[in-house]
Amino acid sequence: MLHRKSLVDHPNFIIATRDSGYKNTASALAEIVDNAIEAAATKIHIFINKIVGAGETDFEIIIMDDGMGMTEEELNLALQFGGSSRFNSRAHLGRYGMGLPNSSLSQCRRVEVTTWKKKSELITNYLDVDEIVEQKLNRLPRIRKTLYSPIPIHSKTGTIVRWSKCDRLSFKYIKSLCKHLHFTLGRIFRYSIWRGVDILVNKEKVIAFDPLFLGDGHNLTGGVPYGKELIYSVRVPNHTIMSEVRVRFVELPLNEWAGWPNEEKRRRYITKCAGVTILRAQREIDYGWFFMGDKRKENYDDWWRCEISFPSNLDEVFGVTHTKQEIKETEFMNSILAPDLEQTAKILNNRVRQKFMYLKTQQPPVFAKQQLERADVYMSSIKKKSQTEIDIKSGDKVLGLKYKIVTKGLPHELFFDVIERNETIILILNRNHLFYDRIFKALHEKRITSTIGFIRILEFVLFAAARAEFAFAGKNANEFLFEFKQKWSSHLNTIIS
């Protein structure tokens, strides 16, 4: 007769569950940080060490918190798949009791938890994939009292989670891993960090990152809330109570940031970052293009952001699964959110479009205009630069010309060019030359009195040079002038790049 089988083949289950799909090391670590925050920790240290003499992938990650620690009973539950002191509780971050073992084994082959309610009474237990497979274990090892902690402890109560034999980290080098953790955790836990929780990676504080460009952090600030916050009352599945979903929109300061070099805009997470940040229990769980109905993502949409926030009792309606790193648009939530969100997205897209149009037509003021125009009469009369480019009115001698600056993307590499049209000297600044972004525009954006004084001086110099060009005429002179300006522009580019 066949033996009755255990419901789960433990060694196979453990191996299979390692693939349970954490996006990356940061989202797996976020589970451990969640637990620490739920245990009321205020300082969470993450240490990443390379084990000397070991293989290239042999990293160790230690997470230490000063939270409330665990009793023996709780520690037993902590390492058990499905074990939780709050199974299916929707009060906070945790819920399924899968977070700790699952996220740990997705990154490493051994996880040890050491915890204390009193500094003198440390208890510890572990899960080791190799042991489970080799010895076909189907039980957790026994909890041990210990005098040893992996790193010195300072808090009265707390927990240390140690991942060793890390063979599945997202990065091979400590430096890139730390960078990834700093950025991703700063963003996921921005609200906790603002509340005063310290998360440190190798002793360096994780700085918040706000994709809305509102709160303080690693990000620029300057986002401007658009409209009122939208609040939806949603029935909690299988309950009679209601919960709130909150949605807010932010416009980015396009006038100030749009002219920056593309590389800068990408580096600052302005462009290529259009979307919605999804917060579950004040913790970011996803980022993407959600609930936008038929509205497709366009480049214009880089210039606004949306934040949707819901409590964990609405998990089902947002399609949150146990790894807590993504949502799915359910039909139910779509029917509630998409109509408003799509409409607002279209309005915001349109506003961006219009701002860009305005920017294109808007030309910079000439601060030295009066002085230039008064002085013009004392300068030599102008000669036709070329027959085709300029149409001076009937070649008459014109006194007292007007002065104007326009900016354009010019096809050549000169930083400026000059033409005369309708008794106006027009200085054309090339938007494609670094001079425009780094000097001219940078100065105009900081419109403080002392800068305007400086811009005037810059205008004197530029217009004097531009005006001088008219002392030369003819095809040869034009060619020479062009070559001269080309050299000048190219040297200037080298100097300021």
Ligand X SMILES: Nc1ncnc2c1ncn2[C@@H]1O[C@H](COP(=O)(O)OP(=O)(O)O)[C@@H](O)[C@H]1O
Position closest to ligand X via CB: 94
Closest CB to ligand X among 45 and 248? 45
Query: How near is the Cβ of 82 to Mg ion at its closest, in Å?
Result: 12
List the interface residues with Mg ion, window 16-45 (CB under 5 A): 34-35
Residues 217, 186 contacting (CB under 8 angstroms): yes
Among 69, 99, 211, 311, binds Mg ion (CB under 5 A): 99
String of contacts with ligand X for each residue 67-96, x by CB under 6 A? xx-x---x--xx----xxxx-------xxx
d(CA 111, CA 75): 13
Closest CB to ligand X among 90 and 355? 90
Residues 88, 97 contacting (CB under 8 angstroms): no
For residue 254, the partner it binds in ligand X, Mg ion, none, with Cβ less than 5 to 8 A by kind, is none
Query: How near is the Cβ of 159 to Mg ion at its closest, in Å?
Result: 12
Closest CB to ligand X among 117 and 369? 117
CA 144, 145, 147, 153 dihedral sign is positive
String of contacts with ligand X for each residue 202-241, x by CB under 6 A? ----------------------------------------
User: Counting contacts by CB under 5 A, is residue 94 touching Mg ion?
Assistant: yes
Position closest to Mg ion via CB: 99
Query: How near is the Cβ of 305 to Mg ion at its closest, in Å?
Result: 28
String of contacts with ligand X for each residue 151-190, x by CB under 6 A? --------x-------------------------------
Among 62, 99, 210, 265, binds ligand X (CB under 6 A): 99
Pairs from 376-380 (Cβ < 8 Å, separation ≥ 24)? 376/400, 376/401, 376/403, 376/425, 376/467, 379/467, 380/470, 380/471
Residues 281, 458 contacting (CB under 8 angstroms): no
- By CB atoms closer than 10 A (0-12, 13-18, 19+), residue 119 is middle
String of contacts with Mg ion for each residue 122-161, x by CB under 5 A? ----------------------------------------
Closest CB to ligand X among 36 and 185? 36
User: Counting contacts by CB under 6 A, is residue 97 touching ligand X?
Assistant: yes
Retrieve residue 361's tokens. Answer: 């037509």
Length of the chain: 497
CA 482 from centre of chain? 43
Retrieve residue 247's tokens. Answer: 């949605």
d(CA 240, CA 235): 7
Residues 124, 343 contacting (CB under 8 angstroms): no
Contacts with Mg ion by CB under 5 A lie at 34-35, 94, 99
